[in-house]
Amino acid sequence: MPHSRRIGGMADLPRLCIFGDSHYACLKQAEVQGLVDVTGVDLEYWGHVGGRFHHLEYRDGAVRPLDDFTARRFAKFNAKGRMVLPAADFDTIHVTGARVYVWRLFHQILRGLAEGPFVSSGLVRRVLADGLRGQSGYRLAAGLASTGTARVVLSPVAFYTADPARFADLVTPGMAALIPAQVPEFWGILRTVAAEDGITLLPQPDDTVSAGLFTDPAYAVANHVEKRDYEHHNAGYGALILARAVQVARQA
């Protein structure tokens, strides 16, 4: 486990980086609005919209943009103008969203389980493991974790905001009946898989979940129906995720 730097016998503040795509914006909003006490950590943000994640790679101990344009875009939104993200510069890196999706995986497996006894526990684990490790944002997180120089924590993209009128046909009664028992199992498998790669995966907070597979509309972005934005969430949600990240960093 990494340790805080020391100067003159006094420990510096634990160094925490929030690394993510557009989903990290709600954490930044939570900090700006004073919803989270971030004292006791040296906090940075390094991220950009998800489309630019296709232009990142992990190499030589750092996440690196593949081109100068992408490097400048990430540097623009970092207080120190960082063009790369070296794991060794931090005690904790909280990977936020980062195009790591679990909803589709959960939905796919629930649908298969509801249709009949053809989905074994081994297949469930394989689908979840392959589905997680196959996502580029997850591979960036795994690369950072492989250095052993920073604790890497992952909060995947939250479930879609609940909207019965829009999503009513996506979850059958049979699937809904399976959710209470199965979804916690799915999260447990993902946590185990991530731990094998040196990553601490944090499930979506229970209090934010509606009907087992969606996010409570209380955490939706403003005017989400008009914007048709069911994926992003507000500062209230960001506060919950940022508070977890800060707590982990303080313990690093």
pLDDT of 9 above 80? no
Could you tell me the pLDDT band of residue 6, with boundaries at 50, 70 and 90? very low
pLDDT of 246 above 90? yes
* Range 221-240 average pLDDT: 97
Q: One-letter amino acid identity for 111?
A: R
Q: For 184-248, where are the E strands, in sequence order?
A: 199-201, 209-210, 214-215
* Range 1-9 average pLDDT: 42
- Of all helices (H) and strands (E), which one includes residue 249? helix 235-250
Torsion region of 154: left, alpha or beta (phi above 0 gives left; psi -120 to 50 gives alpha) = beta
C-alpha–C-alpha distance, residues 203 and 241, integer Å: 10
Q: How many CB atoms lie within 10 A of CB 112?
A: 15
Residue 252 is predicted with a pLDDT of 73
Q: What phi and psi values does residue 14 have, to the nearest 5 degrees?
A: -60, 135
pLDDT of 1 above 70? no
Q: Which of 46-55, 130-139, 172-181 has the lowest mean pLDDT?
A: 46-55
pTM of the full structure: 0.93
Mean pLDDT, rounded, of the chain: 94
Residue 11 is predicted with a pLDDT of 57
Residue 26 is predicted with a pLDDT of 98
Please state which architecture CATH assigns to domain 6-250: 3-Layer(aba) Sandwich (3.40)
Residue 229 is predicted with a pLDDT of 96
Q: Are strands 92-96 and 15-20 parallel, antiparallel or unpaired?
A: parallel
Whether residue 220 contacts residue 233, with contact meaning beta carbons closer than 8 Å, is answered with: yes
- Using DSSP, how many helices (H) and how many strands (E) does the chain show? 9, 12
Could you tell me the pLDDT band of residue 7, with boundaries at 50, 70 and 90? very low
pLDDT of 222 above 70? yes
Tokens representing 85? 């993200």
Q: Which of 45-49, 116-120, 197-201 has the highest mean pLDDT?
A: 197-201
Write the pLDDT tens digit of every residue in 18-44: 999 999 999 999 999 999 999 999 999
Picking from 96, 73, 75, 81, the residue whose alpha carbon sits closest to that of residue 17 is: 96
Q: Are strands 199-201 and 151-155 parallel, antiparallel or unpaired?
A: parallel
Angle made by CA atoms 15, 158, 245, in degrees to the nearest 5: 15
Picking from 123, 82, 118, 87, the residue whose alpha carbon sits closest to that of residue 105 is: 123
Residue 166 is predicted with a pLDDT of 87
pLDDT of 168 above 90? no
* Range 237-246 average pLDDT: 98
Domain boundaries, the chain: 6-250
Q: One-letter amino acid identity for 128?
A: L
Could you tell me the pLDDT band of residue 8, with boundaries at 50, 70 and 90? very low
